[in-house]
Amino acid sequence: MSGRQVGRLGELTVGLTLVLLVGWPLLVGVASAMFRQVPEPTTAGWNGSVSSPALLGNTVRVVGLTILLSVPLGGLLAWLLTRTDLPGRSIGWAILVVQAMIPLPLQALAWLGGYGNMGRQQALGSSAWLTGWPAAAFVEAVSVLPWVVLIIGIGLRAAETELEDQARLLWPAWQVIWRITIQRAWGLIAAAGLLVAAFAATDMTVTDLIPVRTYAEESYLLSQLGLDQARLMIRATLPQLTVIGLAVAGLAYRLSRLDLERLYAGNRPRWTVPLGSARVPAAVGVALLALILVGLPLHALIWRAGRVGGGAGSGELTWTLSGLVGSLQGGWRDLMGGAGSNLRAPLPGSIVWSAIAATGSVTLAWVLVWLARRSRIWRVVTLLVFTMALATPGPIIGLAIKQAYAGISYWNRTPVLLVLGLVVRSLPYSLAVAGPTLWSWPRAWDEQARLAGLDSWREATRLTLPLTRTALAIAWLLAFVQSMGELPCAYLTYAPGYDLVSLLVWSMLHVGVESRLAAIGLILLALTLIPAGVVLFLARRLVTRRNSGR
């Protein structure tokens, strides 16, 4: 079989995969919503209207405050870590990578359990700090902050060295930063803000715990009323889906037309701004911020995990080391499903299904970007897939997949639908991580490959894939962790009898954060350090290779 035939077969395979993941569920969901008569529910959990102004107001408030908390702070941290001589920058990046690998349910467990409305007593002995919609925005901002720093940091390093060097001859440092560095980064700054908006608007993990009624939360509540509520779910989420979808599509289109080859060159050493007398205060401020974002939730988990009993007849809980150890042992048994643990147990099953989903997500993302570099049609397809996957709330994705394949009994009895949902949910993040690396690939290398007689298939397998494997490994680890913590879609697509870590944490969260659940959080946090360490190693290797020009 020739290289051209292999390429055609590959395009057909990708097309069929997209139909399986996106096209057919979308068609079934829209048809059900448009042409199927659905009675208004009378369940007590229904508030009577999916178009209530309160939904719009709550969603706008949560999204707006999440952006205000994460984007300015993330931009400042990105500038300090990428373009200044701040001490301890490598430690700062390490903390951010660990933060990025912590799933949102675990973030909610730590913050709301220790300082919010989920615990019976607060970790610092005061009244609850995190309540109402500001608490939802705060937890979501903390969770998405590392991604904001990463995206804006890439943008701040994308300014051409020649432009900055010439500008430094004419202007002081602050004018160079504003007129050149930041101006060249505006596209990715906007991308970071849009990512935050999509993240806050489409997830219901935190808003359901507080609770706050947003469009995503409403779609989740409707999903609990049965599969016949597709029309109401689409009505509940259509406003935000339309706005975010158009914004994502427009920004992604604009970014795809930029000269992204400078992102590849942007990994090389850059001019750093000396902080001078502000160097030590800036380092202290960053250290205090890290202590708050890492130390407070960790303290809450350790404090609550060790409080298992008090004196006889006192009825009060006291912290003991033996109590902490006992809680950890019990939490591990819960995660492993007892002595006879298998793929139906929460932790082993979540690891296997998340690994399969991450492999499918990264593979599909790489192939889509590869095809989009060579075809306008595939560019449009990739843009549409990215937009729909990012802008659609998790409950909508889960319900659409479940509806589309409700007739296949075997799939409903196995984790097939779960894996399909995890692939769709992690796909935009895989595209966001692996896409820029491949899209910014120097065009001259493609021309050299063609001059050497390589067709597209051989160029992809012999040149591009080996040289991008480090970035793909990073994308795989991030997709894996994201799938491990996925809740909105997994709640609707998991097969009965196959438990998941996210569902275990979710079910226990609704009865209050007590010692066993806090211990599970500590175990999961410790396990998160493994992929985080691998990501740090691979990222350092990738930057070193880029800096050396290889």
The 3-state DSSP class for residue 273 equals strand
Please give the distance of CA 242 from its chain centroid, rounded to a whole number.
Answer: 21
Render pLDDT for 326-359 as a digit per residue (tens, 0 to 9).
999 988 988 887 645 577 888 999 999 999 999 9
Strand pairing partners for 318?
309
Strand pairing partners for 307?
319
CB-based contacts of 489, cutoff 8 Å, min separation 6: 394, 395, 397, 398, 401, 421, 422, 424, 425
The predicted pLDDT at position 115 comes to: 83
CB atoms inside a 10 Å sphere around CB 198: 24
Report whether pLDDT(286) > 50: yes
Domain ranges of the chain: 3-38+54-269+279-306+322-547
The predicted pLDDT at position 45 comes to: 44
The predicted pLDDT at position 545 comes to: 62
The predicted pLDDT at position 41 comes to: 47
Calculate the average pLDDT of the chain.
Answer: 79
Report whether pLDDT(43) > 50: no
The predicted pLDDT at position 445 comes to: 66
Q: Flag the least confident range among 29-33, 186-190, 453-457.
A: 29-33
Render pLDDT for 157-191 as a digit per residue (tens, 0 to 9).
777 777 777 888 888 877 888 888 888 788 788 88
- Answer with the residue of higher pLDDT: 297 or 161: 297
The predicted pLDDT at position 451 comes to: 65
SS (H, E, C) 145-188: HHHHHHHHHHHHCCCCHHHHHHHHCCCCHHHHHHHHHHHHHHHH
Q: Flag the least confident range among 242-251, 316-325, 469-478, 497-506.
A: 242-251
Of 103, 107, 127, give the one whose Cα is nearest residue 117: 127
CA distance 371 to 55: 40
Report whether pLDDT(311) > 50: no
Output the six-digit token pair for 455: 């067709």
Render pLDDT for 271-282 as a digit per residue (tens, 0 to 9).
788 888 888 999
CA distance 421 to 357: 8
The predicted pLDDT at position 5 comes to: 59
CA distance 454 to 449: 6
- Answer with the residue of higher pLDDT: 283 or 269: 283
CB atoms inside a 10 Å sphere around CB 58: 21
Q: Give the CB-side neighbour count of residue 261, counting CA atoms within 13 A.
A: 8
Report whether pLDDT(268) > 70: no
- Answer with the residue of higher pLDDT: 234 or 12: 12
Render pLDDT for 193-230 as a digit per residue (tens, 0 to 9).
888 888 888 888 888 888 888 877 777 777 666 545 55
* Four-way CATH pick for 3-38+54-269+279-306+322-547: 1.20.120.140, 3.40.50.280, 1.10.10.1100, 1.10.3720.10: 1.10.3720.10
- Answer with the residue of higher pLDDT: 143 or 393: 143
Q: Rounded mean pLDDT of 46-52? A: 49
The predicted pLDDT at position 225 comes to: 64
Render pLDDT for 378-435 as a digit per residue (tens, 0 to 9).
888 888 888 888 878 788 888 888 888 888 888 888 899 999 999 999 998 888 887 7
DSSP calls for 391-432: HS-HHHHHHHHHHHTTT-HHHHHSTHHHHHHHHHHHHHHHHH
CA distance 181 to 14: 38
Please give the distance of CA 315 from its chain centroid, rounded to a whole number.
Answer: 41
CA distance 435 to 478: 14
Res. 313 pLDDT band, cuts 50 70 90: very low
Please indicate, yes or no, whether the overall pTM of this predicted structure exceeds 0.75.
Answer: yes
The predicted pLDDT at position 262 comes to: 53
Long-range contacts of 233-237 (CB under 8 A, 24+ apart): 233/33, 233/395, 233/396, 233/399, 234/29, 234/30, 234/33, 234/396, 235/33, 235/50, 235/51, 236/50, 236/55, 237/392, 237/393, 237/396
CA distance 450 to 463: 11
Highest mean pLDDT pick, 251-255, 381-385, 462-466: 381-385
CB-based contacts of 369, cutoff 8 Å, min separation 6: 382, 431, 434, 435, 438, 439
The predicted pLDDT at position 232 comes to: 58
Output the six-digit token pair for 391: 């802008």
Task: Provide the percentage of residues in the chain whose pLDDT is more than 90.
Answer: 14
Res. 512 pLDDT band, cuts 50 70 90: low
CA distance 367 to 68: 35
Q: Rounded mean pLDDT of 482-496? A: 86
